[in-house]
Amino acid sequence: MSARLPYPRTGRRRAALVASCTSLLLVAAGCSFGPPEPDPAGEPPNLPTPSVSASPGGAGQQVVATTLAKGLRVPWAIAFLPDGGGLVTERDSGRILKIGPESGPDGLRVAPVQTIPDVAAGGEAGLLGIAVSPSYDRDETVFVYYTTQQDNRVAKLKLGGRPTPILTGIPRARTHDGGGLAFGPDGQLYVSTGDAGAPDAAQDRASLGGKILRITTDGRPAPGNPFPGSPVWSLGHRNVQGLAWDAGKRMYATEFGQNTWDEINRINAGGNYGWPVVEGQADNGQYVDPIAQWRTAEASCSGLTSVQRLLVAACLRGQRLWVLELTDTGTVLGQPRELLGGRYGRLRAAAAAPDGSVWVSTSNHDGRGRPTPEDDRLLRLVFADGGAGRS
């Protein structure tokens, strides 16, 4: 399907993207693939015998996905520990799972770590984002975003311990709960919130709804925020879930539209992204236009990650990945590429692993998908030629 782009085509497409799994894979597209080498950012996962499928991804492209884990229930977010294992939240159960780095006969080892108390799941609400402290080797701290009966909130904890809330009062609803959580290159914690069904809150700087927030690990407004004394980093958002930074430390986010345009935005401090006044490209100097937009049936992207020069967005309703190549200045080179279209159903989380691969989760048990006996799944992708992983 085609995408309406708010930017011109400025260069050629990169070479084909491929994904690889283990040394059991055969030669594909003229390259042989094996397990990744150790990475200084963390040990790679001990990969299982792969479950592999290939699909075309456009001119000369293909992607091969390894199933790392099966039988999950609405895996919402992924964050990595120093040992290369992934922490995965389950939205409806309120559980945190540790996946890998150990493997078994059916994939990576899946070990429940704990269930977060007070999670009130329902609709799009529940246990959502997770982030690992950049100083985890010293403080062993993990941060989570979840819905209670009263609000959405951010809490910190040591795995197995009781969460300590650090930011409360984020508006909650059955839809538009936001939930993205990630540490930026500056060491501050970024939090994405939804408008919780009250669109005007997105333009109200006194409300935490419809925003991207920037806070310290104690939950206070981070130094250097654009509005003194406020945790607000950007406003005018309908429902942001995915957050990512490129190699130049520029920030990006996925944005759910209403009926017309879903977006990927480059996030600027103090930027106003227009909701509910505008949806998609506005060509209005008051608001920041998206760097890419799609009809909602083609996208509805949740997770977002950056790997070298690529932004990878995992889409729910669109049931695909959208891959954008970035220039050195953070603009988009050429047209977005579609991968995995319809192959695994709804795709939600996307996270760059310590070994350079990308982990993606399905979301077919979220009440809007058609789950298979293997769902929900955790997939591993490796991109070549400007992408991720080693080939």
pLDDT in tens, 171-199: 999 999 999 999 999 999 999 999 999 99
Which pLDDT value is given to residue 205? 97
Average pLDDT of the residues of the chain:
86
pTM attached to this predicted model:
0.86
| CA–CA distance, 91 with 75 (Å, rounded to integer) | 6
Strand order in the sheet with 75-80: 75-80, 86-90, 95-104, 107-115
**Tokens 């993205």, residue?**
180
pLDDT score, position 137: 97
Question: Which tens digits make up the pLDDT trace of 59-111?
Answer: 334 567 999 999 999 999 999 999 999 999 999 999 999 999 999 888 899 99
Which helix (DSSP H) or strand (DSSP E) does residue 138 occupy?
A: helix 136-139
Q: Which residue has the tokens 């299982």?
A: 48
Backbone angles phi, psi at 231, to 5 degrees: -80, -5
Residue 6: burial class (beta carbons within 10 Å; 0-12, 13-18, 19+)? middle
* 298: helix, strand or coil: helix
Contact assessment for residue 270 and residue 234, using Cβ atoms and an 8 Å cutoff? yes
Task: Report how far residue 14's alpha carbon sits from residue 61's, in angstroms, rounded to the nearest whole number.
Answer: 10
- How far, CA to CA in Å, does 95 sit from each of 117, 183, 234, 365, 387? 9, 21, 30, 15, 31
What is the model's pLDDT at position 388?
39
Candidates 244, 230, 227, 211; CA nearest to 77 is 244
* Cα-to-chain-centroid distance, residue 331: 20
The predicted structure's pLDDT at residue 383 = 78
pLDDT in tens, 258-285: 999 999 999 999 999 999 999 999 999 9
Cβ neighbours of residue 226 under 8 Å, at least 6 residues apart?
232, 233, 269, 270
Cross-strand partners of 305: 312
Helix (H) or strand (E) holding 137: helix 136-139
CA-nearest of 3, 11, 15, 10 to 387 is: 15
Q: What is the pLDDT of residue 236?
A: 98
Say yes or no to pLDDT of 22 above 90. Answer: no
